[in-house]
Amino acid sequence: MNKILKEAMSYILIALGAIMASFAVACILIPNDAIDYGTAGIAIIISKLSGIKLSVCVAAVFIPFLIAGAVILGRTFGIKMLLGSVLYTVGIEVFENISFELNIEHFLAVVFGGAILGTGLSLILKNGGCIDGSEIFANIVVKKISDKTGKNFSMTYILIAFNACVYLAVFILINRNAALMSLLVYVVATSIINHFTDHFEAIKQVTIITKHPDDLIKAIKEELNKTCTMMDSYGAIAGSNKTLICYVNYFELSKMKDIISRNKGTFSTVSTIDEILR
């Protein structure tokens, strides 16, 4: 029952996060000459240049990444991503038709909007969802590189490069004020996201202590295509154990937690890794 309640709460928080993000974009950022980042930013650029409704552009841009996310990261992630993306798109449609004005200067409005956006996205990411395709794109690239090289890489540089292209497009196609305001949104929003998700774009080290490692190792290999480092360990009470160390990215972490939950009698920790030296 506790697991069901926890899962239900995660969906509620994802829904709340999507509504907060859509409100920030439609009611605060766009009216103050700023845009969202990632694939949502691409949708806003297309809408501004073509005159097509923003909600339609958001849906069109999000759909390919929704499919890719569900295929690569699993059914549960796909459902959560679908929920967040649908509510974000509907929220954009609703909030675009609501008259809302902040009687403060653009700079403060953009900071405030970026803070609300970052908080909303944090709720989504923290509960195993995602609405921005740039993170899915970065995950796909990192996964392909990792599968070919056998090495783990952070998504940080891919995300920075992706968003740099978005802001360069804003600078060229719209105007430089919009680009600078949007860059401020990115700085504020990502600062909040990194605080609440402990640098979601970084590599995560999962340490598992167990007496029965074989099923865990097999599941991690089959479901995540990852390997583990295994060491002998000893507990003052439990006695002899095996300690497994595995490296995953943030979006693979929820699947790792599912694998661990199916194997009782384990003790696990997750930590953020800034860099792996070889």
Question: Which DSSP string corresponds to 65-89?
Answer: HHHHHHHHH-HHHHHHHHHHHHHHH
Q: What is the pLDDT of residues 213-272, one digit of tens each?
A: 898 999 999 888 888 899 998 888 778 899 999 998 888 888 888 889 888 888 999 998
* Span of 48-57, 96-105, 173-182 with lowest mean pLDDT: 96-105
Percent over 70 (pLDDT), the chain: 98
User: Which structure tokens are listed for 43?
Assistant: 């949708």
Q: Hey, what long-range contacts does 124-127 have (CB within 8 A, 24 or more apart)?
A: 124/13, 124/14, 124/17, 124/18, 124/21, 124/84, 125/193, 125/196, 125/197, 125/200, 125/250, 126/13, 126/196, 126/197, 127/9, 127/10, 127/11, 127/13, 127/14, 127/17, 127/80
- How many Å from the N-terminal Cα to the C-terminal Cα in the chain? 44
Using 50, 70 and 90 to split pLDDT, how confident is the model at 69? confident
Q: For the chain, where do the domains classified as CATH 3.30.70.120 start and end?
A: 203-273
203-273 to CATH, choices 2.40.30.200, 3.30.70.120, 3.10.20.740, 3.40.190.10: 3.30.70.120
Report pTM.
0.82
- Length of the chain as a residue count: 278
pLDDT at 278 over 70: no
Q: Where in the chain does DSSP place strands (E)?
A: 203-210, 229-235, 239-248, 267-273
